[in-house]
């Protein structure tokens, strides 16, 4: 899949590559990123293969990621060619609650800082980075709409929020004729599939395209870690070793027996297909429902080159099925009640499977299509 094929993101006219350039590793400020030379090499390579979708945040490497990126984009002169994404939420001034969070005051402050570092006067896709638990959805949606109207951002979206909040925000935008959000950026990989319960159907229903972050579970799915003697420990050097033991509280330990079973299956499939383990894991992620683009993360040019080859060979359905099975989510309430077997009692034994070909889901804002009745064959007989 060459990156110069572009697909619309969510229900929008914004066209993006199926693999995005993640830049959380641009800069050494956090201790595990790439220096300017390697970051530039990855940026140049991404453009050379036709990529147009770039992700950063004001948080990343303390602003270095945005500054490096802004310099590269200006240097090459590709500002209008790229779809530049950045994010707000994280605090820039200790002791000042309004220098962080998702309130109107911080969104506007954060955007001005990002535009300065990115050396541009607009952002293509501006994302709320993380739910702050306090700001009303109305305030977020109105502020983002104002920024679109002011020409400072072209589109908006949400990252790490509860599904109910994403649903409320989009419903408010729709009900009030405001600019609708086009993107949900969420953690999604073979070892982290929780978004499938709520976010995937939500995105399909409300017009969000999902972009998947950490498709390699921060390196785990590359196979560089091996299970240890006891749960939680593992051998192998990489970013995850810095995060274990709660260095970042939101990142639960990824060294679990379940996850290592998934890694083992990815390894078997990689050997059988000739793809690398990262390529298998990235391709699986990209081919799941509602996924608009997968955000690549890499610390070295070699890793980046490897990851760019994720579509070199299409994985057959049988192999995708094996990956689905080994990583399947456990059944949970209330989702168990929505299984077709349980629904039989609701629908009087009449099937509730897929609609027949040609019976599309309602298109946004259009009335639900009326069923097209087949001729009454009994009457004709
Ligand atoms: N919205 C959010 O909250 C959020 C959160 C996280 C990330 N993101 C975005 O998503 C992007 C990707 O996230 P991520 O960096 O966590 O992705 P990832 O692909 O899961 O992990 C990337 C890391 O895995 C290792 N790696 C990557 N390719 C490899 C390969 N081919 N072989 C061996 N090891 C490899 C490297 O770490 P080592 O240092 O171990 O080599 C690399 O830094 C970020 O750049 C950022 O733009 C968003």
CA 79 – ligand 1 centroid, Å: 24
Ligand 1 surroundings by CB, under 6 angstroms: 22-25, 32, 55, 159-160, 185, 213-219, 222, 224, 238-239, 278, 295, 297-299, 303, 306-307
Residue 236 is classified by DSSP as -
Q: What angle do CA 300, 301, 302 make, to 5 degrees?
A: 90
Please indicate, yes or no, whether the overall pTM of this predicted structure exceeds 0.85: yes
Q: Output the 3-class SS for 242-301.
A: HHCCCCCCCCCCCCCHHHHHHHHHHHHHHHHHCCCHHHHHHHHHHCCCCEEEEEECCCCH
Our mutation pick for probing the ligand 1 site, out of 218, 236, 301, 302, counting the most ligand atoms within 8 A of Cβ, is 218
Of the candidates 219, 164, 213, the residue with the CA atom closest to the CA atom of residue 185: 213
Per-residue pLDDT of the chain (381 residues; tens, 9 = 90+): 579 999 999 999 999 999 999 999 999 988 889 999 999 999 999 999 999 999 999 999 999 999 999 999 999 999 999 999 999 999 999 999 999 999 999 999 999 999 999 999 999 999 999 999 999 999 999 999 999 999 999 999 999 999 999 999 999 999 999 999 999 999 999 999 999 999 999 999 999 999 999 999 999 999 999 888 666 677 888 888 777 766 666 566 889 999 999 999 999 999 999 999 999 999 999 999 999 999 999 999 999 999 999 999 999 999 999 999 999 999 999 998 887 777 778 888 776 666 665 555 444 334 444 444 444 444 433
Domain annotation covers residue 372: no
Q: Which two tokens stand for residue 255?
A: 């060294």
Per the structure, how many domains does the chain have?
A: 1
Range of the domain at 320: 7-326
b/e 101-120 (16+ beta carbons within 10 angstroms → b): bbbbebbebbbebbbebbbb
For residue 348, being part of any structural domain is answered with no
Residues 313, 274 contacting (CB under 8 angstroms): yes
| Active-site annotation holder among 6, 46, 60, 188 | 60
Residue among 276, 293, 294, 297 whose CB has most ligand 1 atoms within 8 A, to mutate? 297
- Count of CB atoms situated within 10 Å of the CB of 264: 13
**Residue 296 covered by a domain:** yes
**77 domain residue, yes or no:** yes
Cα gap 154→278, rounded to integer Å: 32
On whether residue 93 sits in a domain, the answer given is yes
The two beta strands, 53-55 and 19-22, are parallel
**Nearest CA owner, ligand 1 atom 30:** 303
74: which strand partners? none
Name the residue at shortest CA distance from atom 1 of ligand 1: 159
| Residue 76 CA, distance from chain mean position | 27
Question: Measured between alpha carbons, how far is 242 from 234 in angstroms, rounded to an integer?
Answer: 12
**Which residue matches tokens 């609708």?**
180
Which helix (H) or strand (E) covers residue 342, if one does? helix 340-343
CA distance 239 to 257: 19
Out of 23, 298, 308, mutate this one to test ligand 1's pocket (max ligand atoms within 8 Å of CB): namely 298
Three-class SS of residue 80?
coil
Query: 61-86 as b/e, with b when 16 or more CB fall inside 10 Å?
Result: bebbbbbbbbbbbeeeeebeebbbbb
In the reported structure, the alpha carbon of residue 217 is separated from the centroid of ligand 1 by a whole-number distance in angstroms of: 7
Give the Å distances, CA to CA, from 280 to 149, 249, 311, 327. 41, 28, 9, 14
Atom 12 in ligand 1: which residue has the minimum CA distance?
297
Q: Is 99 exposed, middle or buried (0-12, 13-18, 19+ CB in 10 A)?
A: middle
Report the separation in Å between the CA atom of 214 and the middle of ligand 1, taken as the mean of its atom positions: 5
Q: 254: domain CATH number? A: 3.20.20.100
Helix intervals (H) in 104-229:
104-118, 137-149, 163-175, 195-206
Residue 378 lies in a domain: no
* Rounded Cα distance, 224 and 8, in Å: 34
Residue 20 lies in a domain: yes
Is residue 60 part of the annotated active site? The answer reads: yes
């Amino acid at each position: 899949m060459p990156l110069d094929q572009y697909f619309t993101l969510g229900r929008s006219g914004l066209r993006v590559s199926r693999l995005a350039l993640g830049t959380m590793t641009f800069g050494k400020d956090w201790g595990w990123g790439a220096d300017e030379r390697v970051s530039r090499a990855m940026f140049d390579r991404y453009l050379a293969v036709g990529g147009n979708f770039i992700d950063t945040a004001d948080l990343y490497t303390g602003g270095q990621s945005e500054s490096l990126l802004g310099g590269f984009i200006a240097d090459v002169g590709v500002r209008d060619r790229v779809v530049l994404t950045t994010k707000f939420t994280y605090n820039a001034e200790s002791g000042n609650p309004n220098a962080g969070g998702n309130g109107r005051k911080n969104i506007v402050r954060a955007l001005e800082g990002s535009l300065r570092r990115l050396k541009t006067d607009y952002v293509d896709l501006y994302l709320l980075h993380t739910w702050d638990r306090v700001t009303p959805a109305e305030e977020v949606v109105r502020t983002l709409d104002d920024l679109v109207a002011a020409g400072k951002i072209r589109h908006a979206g949400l990252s790490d929020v509860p599904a109910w909040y994403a649903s409320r925000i989009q419903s408010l935008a729709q009900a009030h004729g405001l600019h609708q959000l086009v993107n949900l950026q969420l953690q999604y990989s073979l070892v982290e599939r929780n978004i499938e319960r709520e976010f995937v159907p939500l995105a399909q229903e409300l017009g969000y395209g999902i972009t998947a972050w950490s498709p390699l579970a921060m390196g785990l799915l590359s196979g560089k870690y091996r299970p240890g003697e006891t749960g939680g420990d593992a051998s192998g050097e990489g970013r995850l070793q810095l995060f274990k033991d709660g260095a970042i509280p939101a990142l639960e330990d990824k060294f679990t027996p379940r996850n290592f079973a998934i890694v083992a299956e990815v390894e078997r499939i990689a050997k059988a297909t000739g793809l690398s383990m990262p390529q298998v894991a990235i391709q699986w992620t990209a081919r799941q429902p509602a996924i608009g683009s997968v955000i690549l993360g890499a610390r070295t040019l070699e890793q980046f080159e490897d990851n760019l080859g994720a579509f070199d060979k299409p994985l057959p359905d049988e192999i995708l099925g094996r990956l689905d099975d080994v990583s399947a989510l456990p059944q949970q309430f209330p989702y168990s009640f929505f299984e077709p077997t349980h629904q039989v009692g609701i629908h009087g034994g009449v099937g509730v499977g897929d609609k027949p070909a040609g019976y599309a889901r309602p298109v946004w804002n259009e009335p639900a299509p009326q069923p097209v009745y087949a001729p009454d064959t009994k009457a004709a007989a």
